[in-house]
Structure 1
Amino acid sequence: MSLIKDSVKVMITGTSSNLGFNIAVRLLEQLPNDKEITLIVTSRTLPKAKESISEIKNHVKNNIPEKTKLLEFDYILVDFTDMVSVLSAYYDLDKRYKHIDYLFINAAQGVYNGIDWYSATVEVLKNPVDAVTNPTYKLQRTGVASNDNLGLVFQANVFGPYYLIHRVKHLLAKGGKIIWISSLMSHPKYLSFNDLQLLRSPESYEGSKRLVDLLHFASYRRLKEEDGILQYLVHPGIFTSFSFFQFLNPFTYYGMLMLFYIARMLGSPYHNISGYIAANAPVAAALGKTKQSLKVGSACNRSGKEYLKYEEVDTTGKEDVAKYLEDLSKEWDEKLKHQITNSRQK
């Protein structure tokens, strides 16, 4: 593979997800045609990376053929719940690139254990819009740690990506952009400062996204002033994600989809349903169309016409979160200082 030396470098974590795929295609649609593009796909496994590349290639060929000759692919194998894998991804990036223009942190792992169907039924009957906007009936396991002895969801969604950024900051310096994908459900109530690794939390996924919010507001000014890196915080609203399909059958899936459309018709701005609409805010941020000082969400009206919705965030505790992650990074710098791996050998 001959990587294009002066191309625009785009790296998307979680490229194989519905949102990751749509971030890729929307960005490719909107980037100008005057420069080559290197799209860096990430995955835990090589077959999945190849599958993602194939799907994006087919979409480009059929929908934006003018980009075909401008586009080149690369892949990075990384498992954010494995710190050696994260370090290996850093070594591969540092070896092959001098600069990364766009880094989308689309990590989204949960430890779901099913659905409390009784609670789900009660919530839908009481308030169908709220039931599919702020659901409390998704069951999550507690106490799940990674092999690195870190909270698994904390590591997958927050610390693993944060540590990668910590390592590749020099590649993003002087103009690179980081886009953190948060969630609509990242309320302060989901995070306890006595449990920052979310090991005791029954809502570890939501707590991880609250940490992402606080991390962004603690760090975006410093990244800009010290490194020339622009960091943005977005959320995709509510859309059809494949991560929860294992707990649904055809009846419950289409029932959920129907409730999404009902919520949209009743005025919910967040039920985008389409992954393409959900990718609006991440791509708009990457292209400099949003503010760093606000969280911006993908939204649409009753007819599905998309727009951006700006939100203010309660940033209480942001410095505590930033210091915790900084200190933890130093610990792992020490633990990993003699560890060198190459992800392409996995």
Structure 2
Amino acid sequence: MACRDPKRAQDAREKLYRLLDKHISTLKKGTEDYAYAVAFRSSVRLDIERLDLSSVRSVLDFGKAVTQKYEYISHLIFNAGTATYSHLDILGFTYDLLIHPIDAIEHPRRNMQVNGVLTEDGLGYTWQCNVFGHYVLYRSVQPLLVACARKTNSPARVIWMSSLDAEPTFDLKEDWQLTKTMHSYNASKFQIELIAAELERRTLEGGAPSIPGGSAPNGEFHHYIVSPGITATNMSTLLNIPIPGYRYLMLAAFYIVRFIGSPHVLMSLYSAAVAAVHLALIPLLAIPTVHDTVHVPPEDIPWPSWHSYFGKFTRGAAPPRVLTLRFGAENDRWGNDRPGVMAVPVWEEYLDAGEQLLERFERLYQAFLLKEVGASATVTNRHAE
């Protein structure tokens, strides 16, 4: 488990251990299931590594530590995410909730964000934490993903966490680090879908990659996109809502919206993990693709009037091209969890957006590597003196 705050990571680890122990306690002793669970529990080890995605040096140090500690990585799940929220437009949100309850929760437009926030590396804060930091992490441990395929004869999996909020709300040419847009969170999640789809395309097509080492031409690992749906997390504290007990009001709204028809509103973090866990465990051949599955096409989604996709996809027009699939955590109105799948439409204005972004990401990644090498050489010279 990678985390910026060791204390939070330790608390999460203890919760996971207790969750597993609680499950085992419900099994009947003497059964095959119980014996397997006990053996599994005795072998489980949850290690904690410090990782700050807002610092490239921290990510590179994490990659070095993990490479020295483990022979291979079979699953890499990019779960971290943040946003530069300033506040919630309470009056506007109340209006949306009364007039468009499902849209207000699934595609909120009243979570006000600020732009221009930078990290100590001089990069867009939301962009680095949500997208580029994960790309650097992926590149740093890529040899371990390849090692998994060679040691286990099974491809590794890289699972990128997107969001229902993913939306092309940025200028690809002028603002790819998302410092100018007022919707950097939405844009960062859309960038995740663009680069993950492009990396998987290169894996499936094979051959020599245009970015050396940037993909898996021999199919050593695959890239998938998931969404946790809508659930109550600590990110809501970033909205600075000045209402006592607002979390109870939020949960009440969630229950109502789920009951009237939203499959994407979930009541626990456990439920929100359904899609990621499903993609991590099912056989590779059972994972649907754009070409072989029935999914929710973009024209079937009732986009709200404030969404950039509103009115763009109609039944009378040609069906939109699908870029990739986003696997999401869902449930029915009674709370029964299930994985779902939605189609991510091609960004028609920039058909090669994923390729452009990857090339820029890689150049920046290599620049930071050179910087680290230079810093290490300087330290070595000082010690030598």
TM above 0.5, yes or no, is yes
Relative to 1, partners in 2 of residues 1:315 and 1:226: Cα closer, same or farther, differing over 3 Å? farther
> Cα offset for 1:278?
1.3
Pick aligned residue for 2:265 from 259, 263, 271: 271
- The 5 Å alignment of 1:194-343 reads 194-221=174-201, 222=203, 223-226=215-218, 228-245=220-237, 247-248=240-241, 249-288=243-282, 289-291=286-288, 293=290, 294-316=325-347, 317-339=353-375
Deviation above 4 Å: which 4+ runs of structure 1? none
Distance 2:344 2:358 in 1: 16
> Cα offset for 1:101?
1.0
Distance 2:75 2:9 in 1: 19
- 1:103 pairs with 2:76: yes
Correspondence for 1:33: none
Correspondence for 2:210: none
Distance 1:160 1:205 in 2: 14
User: What whole-Å deviation, never above 9, does each CA across 1:134-176 have from its counterpart, x for those lacking one?
Assistant: 1111111210000000001100010011011111111011222
User: What whole-Å deviation, never above 9, does each CA across 1:270-307 have from its counterpart, x for those lacking one?
Assistant: 11222222111111111235335521111111111222
CA contact 1:296–1:310 (8 Å) conserved in 2: yes
Bigger strand share: 1
Distance 1:46 1:265 in 2: 38
RMSD: 1.8
SS for the counterpart of 1:74 is coil
The worse-fitting range, judged by mean Cα deviation, of 146-155 and 114-123 is 114-123
- 1:168 pairs with 2:147: no
Distance 2:237 2:23 in 1: 28
User: What whole-Å deviation, never above 9, does each CA across 1:20-47 have from its counterpart, x for those lacking one?
Assistant: xxxxxxxxxxxxxxxxxxxxx1111322
Correspondence for 2:24: 64
Distance 1:59 1:129 in 2: 32
TM-score between the two structures when normalised by the length of structure 2: 0.74
SS for the counterpart of 2:47 is strand
- The 5 Å alignment of 1:78-97 reads 78-97=51-70
The worse-fitting range, judged by mean Cα deviation, of 77-86 and 313-322 is 313-322
Relative to 1, partners in 2 of residues 1:58 and 1:126: Cα closer, same or farther, differing over 3 Å? same
Distance 1:269 1:199 in 2: 33
- The 5 Å alignment of 1:137-156 reads 137-156=110-129
Pick aligned residue for 2:7 from 47, 59, 68: 47
Bigger relative contact order (CA 8 A; separation at least 6): 1
SS for the counterpart of 1:64 is helix
Relative to 1, partners in 2 of residues 1:315 and 1:327: Cα closer, same or farther, differing over 3 Å? farther
Distance 1:110 1:339 in 2: 31
CA contact 2:275–2:339 (8 Å) conserved in 1: yes
CA contact 1:233–1:292 (8 Å) conserved in 2: no
> Cα offset for 1:250?
4.4
> Cα offset for 1:51?
2.1
Distance 1:292 1:168 in 2: 26
**How many residue pairs align between the two structures?**
299
CA contact 2:197–2:223 (8 Å) conserved in 1: no
SS for the counterpart of 1:98 is coil
Q: Which amino acid in the other structure matches residue 117 of structure 2?
A: V
CA contact 2:63–2:141 (8 Å) conserved in 1: yes
Gaps of 5+ in 2: 26-37, 150-154, 204-214, 291-324, 348-352, 377-385
Relative to 1, partners in 2 of residues 1:275 and 1:113: Cα closer, same or farther, differing over 3 Å? same
The worse-fitting range, judged by mean Cα deviation, of 41-50 and 230-239 is 41-50
The structure number with the bigger radius of gyration is 2
Relative to 1, partners in 2 of residues 1:163 and 1:141: Cα closer, same or farther, differing over 3 Å? same
Distance 2:326 2:341 in 1: 6
> Cα offset for 1:186?
0.4
CA contact 2:64–2:140 (8 Å) conserved in 1: no
Relative to 1, partners in 2 of residues 1:306 and 1:50: Cα closer, same or farther, differing over 3 Å? closer
Q: Which amino acid in the other structure matches residue 209 of structure 1?
A: K
